[in-house]
């Protein structure tokens, strides 16, 4: 199979253009695009009531968005290895924009669910921009640069929920769809004007590119290891932020503004990203550091679900908010450590490696959103939290029983 030959001139020329403005644009783009996966989570109740979805299916729109994202990752994200970055990302952003507009105009379950699936396409642009940032960065600073861009992505995840709640409380749930759509229109212009051209050269066709995904997955054991571990964490993360707003609305009678304030607490979890990026760079040179940091993150992720079982009604909301902060920080740390590792598997396959990793973990995330909605509807918070313990505990157990594998560094 022919190998992918990346433009070697980028080593000095493109990296010299890695300015603060470019990093800021990449961080903003990743954050805005990934927000599409999360801003609807705290709006499950008003959306289901408005579109006619039964309460037991309130988590289905989020699930469909996650599924759409996973499928698009496999079909569209690999194009980042054979096409100029902006030529791929801008059309993806515009497709997501159209899906947001369609969702805002929907009033029945069918069109809204179809639009929810389409909304999952635009976040794929962020998963092309992230490897693009890693490609621009020098090797010894790759973790730090990825950490900065990941900060934007994680802020998008964490701010999207409270922003969705606040906007919905003032102007209704449809307003946030119009607002995100406007932001994506601005982003498309910024990407065209700010980002330097980075064009890979390859003889691979699109079908050959897709056929290479399975050999890449099969020959890179570390990719599989990192994906399995983070799949449990991300499923638990999405379960928490799907179930917690439903729990607060149903069992505590909180409105959208109060739920927005609750979700805002999770933003502090993103603060660990630059720090963890430095640890990831050190861990690339000394694997024991990376291993220790990973086990700390995994252990920390189990704790929030356990402590959320305790507390009386008066202070249970505060305890739940603390659980969200700790969980967000743990998932953030493990994500950066994992992506620093897989981005070192090869320049020529970086976007495809990232696509495989993200597709696998977000398929698990889709299961987490479905479990969160179903758990709250059938067994309340105790059942949802039990699912969270099982998911995070499973990731920790797998890491403890497995050594970090080393992959076959072949290109495809």
Q: What is the pLDDT of residues 307-318, one digit of tens each?
A: 877 654 556 788
Specify the pLDDT at position 165.
80
Specify the pLDDT at position 280.
67
Percent of the residues in the chain that have a pLDDT greater than 70, as a whole number: 83
Max CA separation in the chain (angstroms): 64
Distance set, CA 318 to CA 261, 298, 321 (Å):
11, 23, 5
- Spatial neighbors of 218 by CB under 8 A, at least 6 apart, are none
Specify the pLDDT at position 283.
57
Specify the pLDDT at position 140.
66
72 vs 65: CA distance, rounded Å: 10
Looking at the predicted structure, is the pLDDT value of residue 137 above 80? no
Specify the pLDDT at position 175.
93
DSSP letter for each residue of 282-328:
HHHH-HHHHHHHHHHHHHHHHHHHHHTT---HHHHHHHHHHHHHHHH
The phi and psi torsions of 5 (rounded to 5 degrees) equal: -100, 105
303 vs 324: CA distance, rounded Å: 10
Distance set, CA 30 to CA 34, 149, 243 (Å):
6, 7, 25
Cβ count within 10 A of residue 83: 18
Specify the pLDDT at position 139.
65
Only one residue has tokens 């408005």, namely 50
100 vs 178: CA distance, rounded Å: 7
Looking at the predicted structure, is the pLDDT value of residue 183 above 50? yes
What long-range pairs does 259-263 form, CB within 8 A, spacing at least 24?
259/42, 259/165, 260/42, 260/161, 260/162, 260/163, 260/164, 260/165, 260/166, 260/169, 261/162, 262/162, 262/317, 262/320, 262/321, 262/324, 263/42, 263/158, 263/161, 263/162, 263/165, 263/324
Specify the pLDDT at position 254.
81
> What's the average model confidence in pLDDT over 345-365?
82
33 vs 100: CA distance, rounded Å: 12
23 vs 402: CA distance, rounded Å: 35
Rounded-to-10 torsion of CA 258, 304, 228, 347: 70
Rounded to the nearest integer, the mean pLDDT of the chain is 80
Q: Which of 29, 106, 99, 104 is nearest to 65 (CA)?
A: 99
Please provide the size of the chain in residues.
412
Only one residue has tokens 């769809």, namely 177
- pTM here is 0.75
Pinpoint the alpha helices (H) of 195-220: 206-211, 213-219
| 259 burial level (CB within 10 Å; 0-12, 13-18, 19+) | buried
153 vs 126: CA distance, rounded Å: 8
Supply the DSSP symbol for 4: P
> What's the average model confidence in pLDDT over 206-211?
87
- Residue-wise pLDDT tens digits, 243-279: 888 888 888 888 777 877 787 776 766 666 666 766 7
Distance set, CA 326 to CA 184, 299, 319 (Å):
30, 11, 11
Q: Would you tell me which CATH number, out of the four given (1.20.1050.40, 3.30.70.260, 1.20.1250.20, 1.10.3720.10), belongs to the domain 10-401?
A: 1.20.1250.20
Two tokens at 242?
């799907």
Which has more confidence, 168 or 14? Answer: 168
Which has more confidence, 61 or 235? Answer: 235
Looking at the predicted structure, is the pLDDT value of residue 213 above 80? yes
Specify the pLDDT at position 412.
46
> What's the average model confidence in pLDDT over 172-196?
91
Q: Which of 57, 147, 368, 86 is nearest to 238 (CA)?
A: 368
Specify the pLDDT at position 187.
94
CA 234 to chain CA centroid, nearest Å: 8
Rounded-to-10 torsion of CA 112, 37, 243, 293: 170
- Residue-wise pLDDT tens digits, 323-351: 888 888 888 888 888 887 887 787 778 88
Looking at the predicted structure, is the pLDDT value of residue 14 above 60? no
Q: Which of 176, 202, 195, 183 is nearest to 19 (CA)?
A: 195
- Output helix, strand, coil percentages for the chain, rounded to the nearest 5: 85, 0, 15
Specify the pLDDT at position 345.
80
Looking at the predicted structure, is the pLDDT value of residue 8 above 90? no
Specify the pLDDT at position 223.
92
Weakest mean pLDDT among 29-33, 111-115, 305-309, 386-390 = 305-309
Two tokens at 53?
């979805």
Which has more confidence, 59 or 66? Answer: 66
């Amino acid at each position: 199979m022919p190998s992918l030959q990346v433009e070697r001139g980028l080593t000095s020329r493109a990296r010299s253009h890695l300015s603060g403005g470019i990093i800021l644009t990449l961080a903003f783009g990743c954050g805005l695009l990934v927000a599409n996966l999360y801003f609807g989570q705290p709006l499950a109740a008003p959306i289901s009531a408005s579109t006619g979805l039964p309460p037991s299916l309130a988590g289905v729109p989020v699930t469909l968005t996650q599924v759409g994202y996973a499928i698009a990752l496999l079909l569209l994200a690999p194009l980042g290895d054979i096409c100029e970055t902006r030529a791929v990302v801008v059309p993806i952003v515009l497709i997501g924009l159209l899906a947001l507009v369609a969702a805002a105009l929907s009033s029945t379950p069918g069109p809204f669910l179809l639009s929810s699936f389409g909304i999952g396409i635009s976040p794929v642009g962020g998963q092309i921009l992230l490897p693009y940032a890693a490609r621009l960065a020098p090797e010894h600073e790759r973790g730090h640069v990825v950490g900065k861009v990941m900060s934007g992505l994680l802020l998008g995840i964490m701010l999207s929920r409270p922003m969705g709640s606040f906007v919905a409380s003032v102007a209704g749930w449809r307003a946030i769809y119009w607002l995100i759509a406007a932001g994506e229109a601005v982003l498309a212009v910024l990407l065209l004007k700010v980002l330097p051209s980075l064009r890979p050269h390859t003889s691979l066709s699109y079908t050959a590119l897709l056929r290479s995904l399975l050999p890449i997955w099969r020959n890179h054991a570390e990719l599989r290891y990192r994906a399995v571990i983070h799949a449990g964490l991300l499923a638990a993360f999405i379960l928490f932020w799907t179930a917690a707003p439903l729990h607060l609305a149903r069992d505590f009678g909180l409105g959208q503004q109060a739920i927005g304030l609750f979700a805002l607490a999770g933003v502090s979890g993103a603060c660990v990203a630059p720090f963890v990026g430095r640890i990831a760079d050190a861990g690339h040179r000394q694997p024991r550091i990376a291993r220790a940091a990973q086990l700390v993150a995994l252990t920390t992720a189990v704790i929030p679900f356990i402590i959320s079982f305790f507390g009386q009604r008066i202070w249970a909301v505060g305890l739940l908010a603390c659980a969200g902060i700790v969980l967000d920080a743990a998932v953030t740390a493990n994500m950066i450590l994992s992506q620093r590792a897989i981005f070192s598997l090869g320049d020529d396959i970086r976007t495809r490696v990232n696509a495989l990793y993200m597709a696998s973990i977000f398929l698990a995330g889709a299961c987490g959103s479905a479990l969160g909605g179903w758990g709250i509807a059938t067994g309340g918070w105790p059942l949802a939290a039990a699912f969270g313990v099982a998911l995070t505990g499973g990731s920790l157990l797998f890491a403890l029983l497995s050594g970090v594998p080393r992959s076959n560094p072949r290109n495809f």
